[in-house]
């Protein structure tokens, strides 16, 4: 007899030896994230870009203005990081909205 309390998951194998049954769960990986990028062009008004950032990315006016300036000065900026489906939806929404307003604004996504 041992001093150790018997575990409910222990099984006797017939020879007096105990087997411990351990259940393992497979590790689930997080889905990859995608950066949504806005690209600069020489035709889309800055106010329109600010409006798009506020409307589709939930930014306040000062955040949207800062990102717009980054796009303008550097040629592109990351405007958000999302799961694949959400990033794809955001890109489609921005592109459709820009086309409806006859602006050549470009928005794309890439894996982070």
Residue 105 domain flag: yes
CATH code, domain carrying 56: 3.30.1390.10
Residue 36 domain flag: no
> Number of folded domains in the chain?
1
Residue 1 domain flag: no
Q: For residues 96 and 44, what is the distance between their CA atoms, to the nearest angstrom?
A: 14
Residue 23 domain flag: no
Residue 53 domain flag: yes
Chain centroid offset of residue 22 CA: 35
Q: What is the pLDDT of residues 2-49, one digit of tens each?
A: 555 555 555 555 666 667 777 777 888 889 999 999 999 999 999 999
pLDDT of residue 70: 98
pLDDT of residue 26: 80
Q: What is the pLDDT of residues 68-105, one digit of tens each?
A: 999 999 999 999 999 999 999 999 999 999 999 999 99
pLDDT of residue 14: 61
Residue 35 domain flag: no
Query: Which of helix, strand or coil describes residue 32?
Result: coil
Comparing CA positions, the residue from 109, 102, 112 lying closest to residue 44 is 102
């Amino acid at each position: 007899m041992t001093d150790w309390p018997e575990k409910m998951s222990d099984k006797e194998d017939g020879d007096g030896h105990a087997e411990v049954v351990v259940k393992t769960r497979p590790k689930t990986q997080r889905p990859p994230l995608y950066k949504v990028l806005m690209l600069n062009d020489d035709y889309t008004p800055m106010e329109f870009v600010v409006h798009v950032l506020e409307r589709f990315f939930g930014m306040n006016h000062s955040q949207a203005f800062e990102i717009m300036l980054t796009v303008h000065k550097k040629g592109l900026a990351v405007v958000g990081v999302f799961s694949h489906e959400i990033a794809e939806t955001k890109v489609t929404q921005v592109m459709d909205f820009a086309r409806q307003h006859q602006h050549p604004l470009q928005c794309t996504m890439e894996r982070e």
